[in-house]
A and B are shown apart, each in its own frame.
Chain A
Amino acid sequence: MPEDGALCGTFFMNGDVACAEGAISAGCRFFAGYPITPATEVAERMSERLPHVGGIYIQMEDEIASMNAILGASWAGLKAMTSTSGPGFSLMMENLGLGVMLETPCVLVNIQRAGPSTGLPTMAAQGDMMQARWGSHGSYEIIALVPSSPQEIFDLTITAFNLSERYRVPVLVMSDEAVGHMSEKVVIPRISPKELVSRRRPDGTQEQYLPYKADEDLVPPMAIAGEGYRFHVTGLTHDERGYPVMTVEAQDQLVRRLVDKIRLNKKDIIRYEEVGVEDAEVIVCAYGISTRVARLAVQEARNAGIRAGMLRLITVWPFAEDRIRELAQQVKAFVVPEINYGQIVLEVERCAAGKASTLLVPHMGGGVHHPQTILKAIKEAVQ
């Protein structure tokens, strides 16, 4: 094990554990959480590992407290994370909004299970995708990444921290029970400090520091508590000084910037993988665990002579709308398998804008699609 305590080598581990290791490799040194199936193993791993890498683990009294604790730790200068599942994710929504408003880097992992309510705690779903986008009140933009394997949850947890520090926004890792509890080979490389992003710090004098005066990329440099800046931050609408200003103008200026700092940088944020889309007449647009089934269905469709391809969304929020618009010019249809009754399909349909048809392949949760179900939808879509 290298000096900094991050693992290095080839391992057989489940997605939850790989997520925790990704966080440690990314430099996460604070974890606050509350036990919940199927995300508990992330917390367990962090409780075991953080004491050995100079980090702190705390089990909070609930998920509301967990979310707040990671915001506080981030303002003390640490990279901080929490993990949860559906019910806990709902409890975190209010203070996810505080994270957005205070522009606090942090990572929130949701190992999705089937809902609504207590639902199927031990079984997979992708039912929180719209909640990830719209769950907190008010207008805002968020970043959400969706891994499809233990290896990818390791990699994307690092990406999540990097994007979070880069844009000063909470980043969501929207995994699911199937990935979380699946054990596979995970290769943990030696991460060089150059691969890790840290928030931009203020370089002016303390007297002149304005906590919310943004640079050209719309992201303000961030001071941390205890350095003598004596800054004020508030969840109220505020100006560059961080002071509350209760006007329509201040609201306009602030909300526009919070949203635009993500929207205008979406090229840097959006990641996807394409499989056989060049000549495709039908594209399966999928994310997370569903892409592993979809991959097989697309292969079988090709074998049956259908020009099928796959667009695997890795960043789900902000949405890859430009790419869908382009592809809509080329294909007859998009097939969207998801483990819910239709969420991301609405975005695909919006971007296809009638240029291509859109076919939802829903699964109510508790498992993954059968490849034949998706294949059947592909065949239906090209008829």
Chain B
Amino acid sequence: MTTPLTVGENTVDSLLRLDRMPHIWCQGCGIGPAVGCFTRAIESSGLDPDKIALVSGIGCAGRAAGYVKLDSFHTTHGRALPFATGLKLGNPELNLVIFSGDGDLVAIGGNHLIHSARRNMDMTVICINNFNYGMTGGQAGPTTPLDARSTTTPYGNFEYPFNVPYLVAASGATYVARWTVLHVRQLEWSIAEAMTKPGFSFIEVLAPCPTLYGRMNKEPKGLDTMHSYQERSVVRDGADPKDVAIDSDGPIVVGKFVDIERPTFWDQWKLLLDRAREKKK
């Protein structure tokens, strides 16, 4: 006799807005699994969810703000980081997480990304990279690999993409990692580690987009991309970020690339306060 498999309440249900389900993401999309890792990271980190604020920009990944039961802000395209900067400085006790996509954070929000890293603003960025603009129907962006197809690169992408971990590390981030949504355990641990570490933490999360990028690049099912992650991923903790660029079919280097200490914006601000008081005397 077989025992019926029963599913009880998911322990992370209290961190989700179940009244908003079903979500808008396509079948096989990698954003949902990444949100799952994020909620489990909150649980395992023991952080107080009342003190966590999530800020998103615009796009498929930007919709995450609407599904988590946290103080959550769905802002404008590319502007999650400066909005989060104001929130953080307004209440330094808040644990700020920015959950958004590659187009949002790296293209239109690219300037805010490098400056937030430069300031070492105490926040964690979860950057979903699906190599294209999903919400608008599959256009190329600054992370689209060379030669890849998209609705705006019908003859193949001729622009070189950013190596995002390298960009962010060079700009001053003190924690930089990359995982795919196949690496659920590592991603969960990494998010928990980033959220409990002071300073600017950045996690690039490769995620399948079967509906658009996958369909145009010979991976029409989410599972195809997951298989490709399985075959191509190489875990190399401590890899030099300049060596982790992604091309269309080479190895995908994942792991924790940067984990260093540097004074945060808030540390520096406290020094400034002392200096200002000194000058006043």
Contacts and interface: CB of A to CB of B under 8 A. Distances in A.
Interface string B52-74: 01010000000001100111111
Contacts of A233: 72-74
Nearest to A227: B50
Contact of B82 (A68, A230, A244): A68
A152 B83 CA distance: 31
A230 B90 contact: no
Contacts of A228: 50
A73 B66 contact: no
Interface stretch (B213-221, B227-235, B269-277): B269-277
A3 to B, nearest CB: 15
B111 interface: yes
B112 A65 contact: yes
Interface residues of A, number: 43
B87 interface: yes
Nearest to B265: A58
A76 interface: yes
A66 B82 CA distance: 7
Given A64-B79, A234-B65, A235-B75, A226 B86 contact: no
Given A51-B276, A61-B112, A95-B76, A69 B85 contact: yes
Interface in A34-52: 51-52
B28 to A, nearest CB: 23
B86 A76 contact: yes
A51 B93 contact: no
A56 B89 contact: yes
Of the candidates A30, A56, A76, the one having the most CB atoms from chain B within 10 angstroms of its own CB is A76
Which of B69, B70, B74, B88 has the most CB atoms of chain A within a 10 A radius of its CB? B74
A243 B90 CA distance: 24
Contact of A30 (B81, B90, B93): B90
A78 B66 CA distance: 24
A244 B23 CA distance: 12
Question: At the interface, is chain A mostly helix, strand, loop or mixed?
Answer: mixed
A70 B86 CA distance: 6
Given A62-B111, A77-B90, A225 B79 contact: no
B71 A225 contact: yes
Contacts of A32: 82, 85-86
A58 to B, nearest CB: 6
Contacts of A227: 50
B105 to A, nearest CB: 13
B91 interface: yes
Interface in A62-116: 62, 64-66, 68-78, 80, 94-95, 98, 102
Interface in B19-49: 20, 49
A232 B90 contact: no
A244 B65 CA distance: 11
A60 interface: yes
Q: B65, B70, B91: which has the most chain A beta carbons within 10 Å?
A: B91
Given A68-B86, A234-B66, A75 B73 contact: yes
A236 B74 contact: yes
A177 to B, nearest CB: 27
A244 B94 CA distance: 25
A228 B14 CA distance: 13
Contacts of B276: 51-52
Interface in B242-281: 269, 272-273, 276-277, 280
B49 A230 contact: yes
A231 interface: yes
B84 interface: yes
Contact of A80 (B86, B88, B91, B94): B86
A72 B20 contact: no
B185 interface: no
B197 interface: no
A70 B51 CA distance: 20
A341 interface: no
A243 B20 contact: yes
Nearest to A29: B90
The residue in A32, A71, A231, A236 that gathers the most chain B C-beta atoms within 10 A of its C-beta is A71
A244 B86 contact: no
Contacts of B112: 61, 65
B86 A231 contact: no
25 contacts: A30-B86, A30-B89, A32-B82, A58-B89, A65-B82, A68-B79, A68-B83, A68-B85, A68-B86, A71-B75, A72-B83, A72-B90, A73-B90, A74-B90, A75-B86, A75-B87, A76-B87, A226-B91, A229-B71, A230-B50, A230-B70, A232-B65, A232-B74, A243-B20, A243-B66
Given A62-B111, A228-B50, 16 more contacts: A30-B90, A65-B79, A65-B82, A66-B82, A68-B75, A69-B83, A71-B83, A72-B84, A72-B85, A73-B89, A226-B93, A230-B70, A230-B71, A232-B74, A235-B75, A235-B76
Interface of A: 30, 32, 51-52, 56, 58, 60-62, 64-66, 68-78, 80, 94-95, 98, 102, 224-236, 243-244
